[in-house]
Structure 1
Amino acid sequence: MKIEKRSIDFVPKEERHGKPTHLFPVWFGANMHITTLVTGALVFSLGQNFIWSIVAIVIGNLIGAIFMASHSAQGPQLGIPQMIQSRAQYGVIGAIVPLIVAMCIYFGYLISSGLLGAQAFASAFSIGLTPSIILLNLLTFLVALFGHDVIHKMQKYFSWIFFIVFFVVTIMALRIPVPAGSWSAGGFDPTIFMLSVGITASWQLSFAPYVADYSRYLPIDTSPHKTFWYTYAGTVIGAAWMEIIGVIFALAVPHFLDHPGSNLAQIFSGPLVFMMYIIIVLGQLSINTFNLYGAFMSTTTVLEPFTKLKITPRVRGTFFFCITLIGTVITIWGQENFMAFFQNFLTFLGFSLIPWTSINLIDYYMLRRGEYVIKDIFDLNGRYGKVNWITIIAYVLSIGLQIPFINTSFYVGPVAKALDGADFAWVIGLVVPLIFYYFPMKYKIRTKENQNPVKADISNI
C-alpha cells in the first residue's frame, strides 16, 4: 500500500482510475454504523410514532441525498476536493468561512462516532473508555493516512460484511416484542414530522463537504448521471436502513439511547455478542476515516493560500496526527454528555451547512454550468478573487434568516412558535440563496468572469 500523494491539488488525467459503480459501496458502507442507527433512534425519541418516524426518515434521506449526490457528480469533472471548489464561489480567502463550518462538522462527527465506537471497543475488550478512545482513534489515523484508494478498498469489503450482519440484525430486531398499537398510522404530529425530516436530510447533507473527494479520481469522461445515481443509491439505502433499525430499537428496547452499542450487541448471545461489538467498532472506524480525511483536506485548504504548503508524506502524517490528537482530547473531555451534544450538533449542522450546499449547487448547475478555470481556484489573483462579498453576504443572510424558523432544545424561533414548533429552517436555507446569490452572481459572471472557461459537461444529470 502506498500513501496517497495528492491532497487538495488537481488529479491529472494519467492518475484517474475507477468506475462510478465503486461509489455505491463507498457510500453504502459509510452509513452502515451505529451513529446512523442512533440518528434514527433520536428521530423516534422526539415523540413521533413508529410509522411516521419511518416515513420521515425515508423522505428526509430521499431529499437530502439529492443535494449530496449532486456534489458527488462534480468530482470527476473538476478533479479537486469538494471544499476547495468553494473558492470559486467565496473567493480563495473567503472560502475559509464555509471551511470553518466544515471543520466543525468533521470534528463533531469524529467525536460522536469515535465515542460510540470506543464504547463498543471498551465493552468488547473489557478496558476503560479513555484507552478505547485513544486506540480507536489511532487505528483511524493509520487508515486515513494512506488516503483515497485504501479507503475505497476498505469500504468495498466492509460493505459486504455490514450487509450480512445487519441483515441478520434486522430480522432479529423485527422479532422483538413491541407495544400494542405501534403499527398504527394514527397520531401524526406535523411539528415533529418536519423536525424529523430536517434531521435526516441534514444527515445526508453532512456528507456534502467531502463527497466529491471520493469521486475526483474517476476518469474525466465518467458519466455525471452514473456518478450521481450510484452515490445516491448507496447513501439512501444505507442510511434509511440503519435509521429504521434505530427506530425499531428505540421502540422495543427501553432506554436504548442510554447505551446504544451494548443494547445492540445484547440482541445476540454467547460469542456473537463479541462479534457484534467488533462490527460496531469497524463501522465507526469506517466513518471516522472519512471524518479525519475530510478534516485534513479542510485544514490544508485553509492554510494553502498563506503558506503554499507542499504536502510530502511527512507533512501529511504530521497534519493527520495533530488533527487526530485534537479530536481525541475533545472526545475524552466530552464523553459524559454525548446525547445532548449529538442532538444539538445535528441542529447546528443543518442550520449552517444547508446555505453552503445551496450556494455551491446554484453556482455549479445554474450559473457556471460546470465551467471553471482550475488554476484560478489556486490563485489569489485569479478570476475568483480573494473574497467574493456577494457570496459571503448571501451565506450570512441565509443563516440569519433561518433563525426565526428553527426549533431546538436551546432555542425556538418566533415563526416556529407561531407554527406550533414546526421547523422549516432547512427549507429557508435552501431557498434564500436563490435570491441573494443567484441574481447578483449572474450579473457578475456575465460582466466580469466570462473569459475562456474550462468546461465540465453536466448535461447528463
Structure 2
Amino acid sequence: MKIETRSIEFVPHRERYGRPRRLFSVWFSSNLQVTALMVGTLGVASGLSVLWTLAGLALGCLLGTIFMAAHSAQGPHLGVPQMIQSRAQFGVLGAAIPLLVMVTAAVLFMAASGVLMRDPLKALLGVTDDQAIVLIGITTFLIGAVGYELIHRLGAWMSVLSSIVFGAALVLILTRAEAGQIFHVEADGFSLPIFNLVVAQAASWTLGYGPYVADYSRYLPADVSARHTFWTTYFGCALGSLGMMALGAVLAAAVPSALSVDPGTAIASLFGPWAKAALIVVALGVIQYNVLCLYSAYMSATTIFSGFAKVTQVTQGAKLLLMAILSTVACAIAIRTQYHFDTFFADILIGQLYLLIPWSAINLVDYYVVTRGRYHIDALYDAQGRYGRWNRRTLIVYGVSIIGTVPFMKLSFHEGYFAQLIGADVSWIAGLALASVLYYICSANRQSVHRNVVATRCVTSAAFANREK
C-alpha cells in the first residue's frame, strides 16, 4: 500500500479506480463509533423520552444525509476535492471563508473524539488523562499521513468489527430485566423544543460531512453513476449514524449511570471479561473517525493556502507538517476542554449547523440547478480566471443567510423572535431555504451564460479524459 501523493489537484483518469460500494464501508464504519453515540444520548439526558428521541434522531439523520450524499455524488464527475469545487461559487480566494469554518469544525470534532477516548485508553494502557489524548492524536496523524487507500481499508475492517461489538452491546442492554420499561410513553416525556433540538443535532452530524464527503469519491472513475455514488454514500452514513445514535439513546435510558462516565467505557463494561477487547474496537472506531476529520481539515487548510499562494500541488513534507500542526491544535483543545465536555460538544453540533447549512445550500443549488455540474477545472486553480478571486454576490448571500437565521435561533444567551414563537430552534431549515432561494435568484442569469460557455471551452472531469490520451 503506497502513501497517497495527490492532494488538492485534479485526479487523472488513469489513476481512478474502485467502485461506489467502497463508499458504503467508509461512511458506515466512520459513524459506528462513540462520538456518534454521544449525539444519541443528548435528547434523553435533556428529559425527552426514548421513543421521541429515536423519532427525532431518525428524522434528523434521514434529512441531513440527503444533502451530504448529494455532495458525494459530485466527486467522480469532477475529480477534485469538494472545497476546490466550491471556488466556482465563492471565488478562488472567497472560498477561504467557508473553508475556515470547515477547518475549525473538523479540528473541534477531533478534539471531542480525543476526550471521548481518554478514559478507554487509560483503562487499556494505564496512562494519564493528557497522555491518552496525545496518543489518540499521534495515531490519527500516522494513519492520516498514509492517506486515502488506508482510510478505505480501515473502513472495510471496522464495518465488520464495530457491527459485532455495538450490535452485541444493544442485545445486552435490551436483555436486562428493566430495559423494557424505557420504551413506555409518558405524558411528560415530550418537549417540542428538545425534540427539535434532537432533530437539529442529528442533522448537523451528517451535514457536517458535506464539505469533504466528495474527497472520498473523487478517485472513482468518471463514468460511475451519480445515482450509485449517492445511494451507497447515503445508506452507509444514514445506517451507521442512526444505528449508533439509537444505541446511545437506549444506553442513556437503560443505564443512566453511563451518562456520568464516557460512553466507550460504559459500552465495554457490558462485556464483562471481554471488556478490554471491546475497548480496543471502540478506540479504533474513534480513531478512524478522527482520521476523516484530520484528512478533511488538511484538505481544507491546503485549499485556503493554495488559493492565496497560487499553488496547485502540495509536497509530501508540507502535507505532513500541516497534518502535524492540526493534530497538535486538536490535542491542545481536547486537553483544555476535557472536564466540561458535554457543553463543548453540544455547542459544536449547533454552531457548525448555523455556518455550514448556507454553504451546503449554495453549493448544491449551483451544481444541480445553475451549472448542471459543468465547471472549468483549470479555472478552479486560477484566481485570475473565470471564477475570479472573490465572488461578492455569493459572499453576500452567504452572510445574509447566516444573519437571516438569527431570529430562528434558540441559544443559552439568545432566543430569536420566531424561535420564541415556535418554541424551538428551526434556524437550520430557515438557513437552507434562504440560502437556496437567494443564491438561485442572484445566479439565474448565469444559467444561459454557462450553457453557451460549455459549448466552447468548459472542461469537466470527463473532458479531461481526452486531454490525457
* TM-score band, normalised by shorter chain: over 0.9
TM alignment of 1:398-437, pairs within 5 A: 398-420=401-423, 422-437=424-439
1:279 matched to 2:281? The reply is yes
Aligned length: 455
Aligned twin of 2:10: 10
- State percent identity of aligned pairs: 38
**Cα deviations across residues 88-146 of structure 1 (Å, max 9, x unaligned)?**
00000100110011011101111001211222111222211111111111111000001
Secondary structure in structure 1 of the residue aligned to 2:272: coil
Which deviates more, 85-94 or 427-436?
427-436
Aligned twin of 1:87: 87
> Could you say if the C-alpha distance between residues 439 and 317 of structure 1 is closer, same or farther in structure 2, counting changes exceeding 3 Å?
same
Secondary structure in structure 1 of the residue aligned to 2:31: coil
Alignment check: 8 A CA contact 1:51 1:185 kept: no
Q: Distance in 1 between matches of 2:446 and 2:374?
A: 15
TM alignment of 1:326-341, pairs within 5 A: 326-341=329-344
1:453 matched to 2:458? The reply is yes
Alignment check: 8 A CA contact 2:162 2:282 kept: no
Q: Which runs of 4 or more aligned residues in structure 1 lie more than 4 Å from their structure 2 counterparts after TM superposition?
A: 447-450
**Cα deviations across residues 233-273 of structure 1 (Å, max 9, x unaligned)?**
11111011100000011101224233122222211212x11
Q: Distance in 2 between matches of 1:139 and 1:181?
A: 38
Shift of 1:450: 4.3
Aligned twin of 1:443: 445
TM-score by length of 2: 0.94
Q: Distance in 2 between matches of 1:449 and 1:333?
A: 52
Q: Distance in 2 between matches of 1:449 and 1:369?
A: 9
Give unmatched runs, 5+ long, in structure 2. Answer: 463-469
Pick aligned residue for 2:272 from 269, 276, 282: 269
> Could you say if the C-alpha distance between residues 441 and 317 of structure 1 is closer, same or farther in structure 2, counting changes exceeding 3 Å?
same
Aligned twin of 1:241: 243
Alignment check: 8 A CA contact 1:383 1:449 kept: no
Aligned twin of 1:164: 164
Aligned twin of 1:138: 138
Aligned twin of 2:349: 346
1:373 matched to 2:376? The reply is yes
Alignment check: 8 A CA contact 2:99 2:300 kept: yes
Q: Distance in 2 between matches of 1:6 and 1:235?
A: 25
Shift of 1:191: 2.5
Letter in 2 for 1:77: H
CA RMSD in angstroms comes to: 1.6
Alignment check: 8 A CA contact 1:398 1:429 kept: yes
Aligned twin of 2:20: 20
Aligned twin of 2:465: none
Letter in 1 for 2:26: V
Pick aligned residue for 1:397 from 390, 395, 400: 400
Q: Distance in 1 between matches of 2:140 and 2:310?
A: 27
1:230 matched to 2:232? The reply is yes
Letter in 2 for 1:382: G
Q: Distance in 1 between matches of 2:23 and 2:186?
A: 36
Aligned twin of 1:219: 221
Aligned twin of 1:313: 316
Aligned twin of 2:367: 364
Alignment check: 8 A CA contact 2:50 2:249 kept: yes
Q: Distance in 1 between matches of 2:458 and 2:358?
A: 26
Shift of 1:19: 0.2
Q: Distance in 2 between matches of 1:107 and 1:200?
A: 19
Shift of 1:411: 2.6
Shift of 1:456: 6.5
**Cα deviations across residues 330-385 of structure 1 (Å, max 9, x unaligned)?**
21122111111001111101111111101100000011010000100000111111
Q: Distance in 1 between matches of 2:406 and 2:49?
A: 27
Alignment check: 8 A CA contact 1:65 1:204 kept: yes
Aligned twin of 1:184: 185
> Could you say if the C-alpha distance between residues 334 and 188 of structure 1 is closer, same or farther in structure 2, counting changes exceeding 3 Å?
closer
Shift of 1:276: 1.8
Alignment check: 8 A CA contact 1:24 1:230 kept: yes
TM-score by length of 1: 0.95
Aligned twin of 1:204: 206
Aligned twin of 2:467: none
Q: Distance in 2 between matches of 1:456 and 1:409?
A: 46
Give unmatched runs, 5+ long, in structure 1. Answer: none
Letter in 2 for 1:224: A
Aligned twin of 2:108: 108
Aligned twin of 2:151: 151
Pick aligned residue for 1:298 from 300, 315, 332: 300
Q: Distance in 2 between matches of 1:448 and 1:252?
A: 57
> Could you say if the C-alpha distance between residues 449 and 101 of structure 1 is closer, same or farther in structure 2, counting changes exceeding 3 Å?
farther
Shift of 1:455: 4.7
Letter in 2 for 1:256: A
Which deviates more, 373-382 or 328-337?
328-337
Q: Distance in 2 between matches of 1:390 and 1:449?
A: 20
Shift of 1:52: 1.0
Q: Distance in 2 between matches of 1:239 and 1:356?
A: 22
